Chain A
Amino acid sequence: VTAVPLLGYREHNCDDPEAEQVALLAVDHINNHLQQGYKHILNRIDKVKVWPRRPTGEVYELEIDTLETTCHALDPTPLANCSVRQVTQHAVEGDCDFHVLKQDGQFTVLSAKCDSTPDSAEDILKLCPDCPLLTPLNDTRVAQAAEAALTAFNEKNNGAYLQLVEIARAQLVPLPASTYVEFTVAATDCVAKEVTDPAKCNLLADKQYGFCKATVAEKVAREEVEVTCTIFPAQPVVPQPQPGVAGAAAVEPAPAVDPASPVSPPDGQSPSSLVVGPVL
């Protein structure tokens, strides 16, 4: 009787170059499938197991920790140029489990599962007692601040009327009493200064998104709004082939940006010239 060796896994050093290569591919996979929230960056590889696969290849079972960056998922800035969200800004961590197939020298993500968690309030306040904490996005003050900021921006904007897409993060600042909010917007077919009924404005067929940061302070009988918006150049998205493996799951189902043809910025402006603000 020929002894049949058991097909067990082998453990890898988590800082092994190949483990890191697989982890970076996994992080790219996360970011390429995000539609909302912020891009994440690799912080630590927690565990790596490599399983033999019949008839050929190997499957990497990977656990990684990620950190939220300041680049929104719709922001075309390369991840390498994105800053990690600092603890004082109430950092958010991701915990991800991946299965990645290595076959013929090629890596393919088979499955991905991530959970994200903000740092504990206790930890932040120990380090920085005055730092504002993240506020739930369904807080009415947050929604009102985003609406007020976008209205103020549209009133001063010479370009397309912008619609709110998603409130991405918010903090209630104690001193001076104000609401800080970050949100995404999309350009419509209306001119901002001519809009009478926003409900009649439609999103552009080639979706063009933007990202705004605003601080809205409640003053006596008035609001003081400071808002800056950046309109992203439309990005062509090349659909990525995914393996037809039963039970495979992606982090998010759809690409970050609609697979539309590229659109030039209005008036031939460069992307950097589309950064507008602050509007007071």
Chain B
Amino acid sequence: NFSMDSEVHSSFIHRRLRSQERREMQREILSILGLPHRPRPHLHGKHNSAPMFMLDLYNAISNEDEDEGFSYPYKPIFTTQGPPLATLQDNNFLSGADTVMSFVNLVEHDKEFQSVQRHHREFRFDLSRIPEGEAVTAAEFRIYKDFIHERFENETFQISIYQVLPEHSDRDSQLFLLDSRVIWAAEEGWLVFDITATSNHWVLNPMHNLGLQLVLENVDGQSINPKIGGLIGRHGPQNKQPFMVAFFKATELHIRSIR
């Protein structure tokens, strides 16, 4: 009966789900999304730097052809008053990513380590929960640099990012230099460091994931507190917190199991 069909159709659309139906619907949709359970994030920091960065990325790609992978709009996402500080030279590999994931820094407090030799700041990211069947195609470490009023505009600093290597019995943990660049005191914006190789290494060898170290030096080569250089840490504004972002490409075809 057509009229009955219409009623059924109409009621199907508008009827509110009962709690049991709702739970089943949730389970079904989670299954479609490939998630074993509903994620329960500890923090609700939607205004933190990483979620905001990801939301910008989402908005940028949402108008594109959905059949294609993400094409990464590689302009500085957080435009600030100053010029963009850094961009990756080659972003071809970023287009075609199936998944993009940001990672929060797990170091609880900014320990502005002041060893005998030098100041440094540590960062750690948990890459153990990356989506199944995905390979890292690119990864970046992002840290915000604020304008420093107390400094001369033409003053420069050297910022270096190191990968912390595991300790051996005969020596302390070593550092492997990933990138180094000179920044002006007057500059402001996001600094972006390519950590693709390191991320791949960490994914393959989770035990070797001992994080990153950042060292800031003045023109005389003396290490200085990163805070003095305007680098935002955990005590800075939420939307300027350092984070890591990785781009993934599916390595295998996911076939949903028949239920």
Q: Do A and B bind each other?
A: no
Taking Cβ atoms with an 8 Å cutoff, the residues of B that contact A are none
